[in-house]
Amino acid sequence: MPRLSDIIEEFIKQLIEKKDGEVEIQRNELANFFNCAPSQINYVLSTRFTIERGYYIESKRGGGGSIRIVKVKFENSSNLLENILNNINSPVSQHQANEIVECLLENGVISKREANIMKAALNDKTLPVNQPLKDTLRMLILKAMIISLMNG
């Protein structure tokens, strides 16, 4: 059975798709609809609709907590890869790496099999060094993968 966070995420994604890549929602109304606390909506927005996953969120003050979510559109996979590469400038956690891989998968740049291979290579258990070197090494490997995809 899917978790509430997964259900909320899927609901918001469907809204975004129906509204051609951009939607404005009321945090409190969404919380009432799902019979949950507004903090649950905040959690979904902050973890599932990140820039690494290709979303831009703008929070508007007042008016009941209105939030605008935009699915960033790229002309082609080269633009997406270039954007990701340009934004990897510091050590990358396993979570951040997985978000980037999921973005590539969702945008059709890589297959599910390729995503699984990338996640395995970027996994904490695969990298035999201690922090903070682990996140730096992961960043370098991820950048090399992105460059390989750009050249492939």
| 90 shares its domain with 146 | yes
Give me the count of residues in the chain: 152
Contacts of 94 (CB under 8 A, 6+ apart): 122, 123, 124, 138
> DSSP character for 52?
G
Residue at which a domain ends, from 71, 87, 114: 71
| 114 shares its domain with 96 | yes
| 62 shares its domain with 83 | no
Q: Is the pLDDT of residue 127 over 80?
A: yes
pLDDT tens figures, 97-110: 998 999 899 889 99
| Adjacent-strand bridge partners of 14 | none
| 18 shares its domain with 47 | yes
Phi and psi at 60, nearest 5°, equal -105, 130
pLDDT tens figures, 27-52: 889 999 999 998 899 899 988 888 77
Does the bond joining 128 to the residue before it have cis omega, within 30 degrees of 0?
no
At 32, which CATH number?
A: 3.30.56.130
Structural domain boundaries, residue 110:
77-151
pTM: 0.71
| 147 shares its domain with 85 | yes
Structural domain total, the chain: 2
- Cα dihedral value 77, 23, 60, 42, nearest 10: -80
| 22 shares its domain with 64 | yes
Q: Which amino acid is at 39?
A: S
Around 27, how many Cα atoms within 13 Å sit in the side-chain half-sphere?
22
